[in-house]
Amino acid sequence: MLHLIFQSPIEAAILQRIDSGDVVVFLENAVLRTLQNSAINDILARQLSSNRLCVLSDDIAVRGIAPHELVKGIEVIGYAELVELTVNNPVIQSWT
């Protein structure tokens, strides 16, 4: 399953609904919660062991975030990779 998270702040209940092997893409203001100093950085770091976590490159660039400021292991992807993820995951859940 592909999870598209737009919500900021991100509720812990959302992260608990992500199953092992799911892919998560943080978009818009949700990318702010993927910073190393965010309140959920420990949760995200743990989820990296069983999930692929990504942020959209344009969304971090617009907010002045450099890739090295993200929780280590979170991938920065472009629109082409986002489209590929949507094609390869027939079930998509959007969290707004």
Segments making up each domain of the chain, as ranges? 2-95
Higher pLDDT, 28 or 11: 28
Question: Model pTM?
Answer: 0.95
Check residue 34 and report its DSSP letter. G
**How far is Cα 40 from Cα 95, in angstroms, rounded to an integer?**
16
Q: Give me the percent of the chain exceeding a pLDDT of 70.
A: 100
Give domain 2-95's CATH number out of 3.90.1150.10, 3.40.1260.10, 3.60.15.10, 3.60.9.10.
3.40.1260.10
- Name the nearest CA neighbour of 31 among 1, 66, 56, 68: 56
**What is the mean predicted confidence (pLDDT) over 58-71?**
97
Q: Which two tokens stand for residue 86?
A: 């949507």
pLDDT recorded at residue 9 = 86
Residue 12: predicted pLDDT: 82
Q: Rounded distance, CA 83 to CA 33, Å?
A: 23
Q: Which helix or strand (DSSP H or E) is residue 60 part of?
A: helix 57-62
pLDDT interval class at 11 (50, 70, 90)? confident
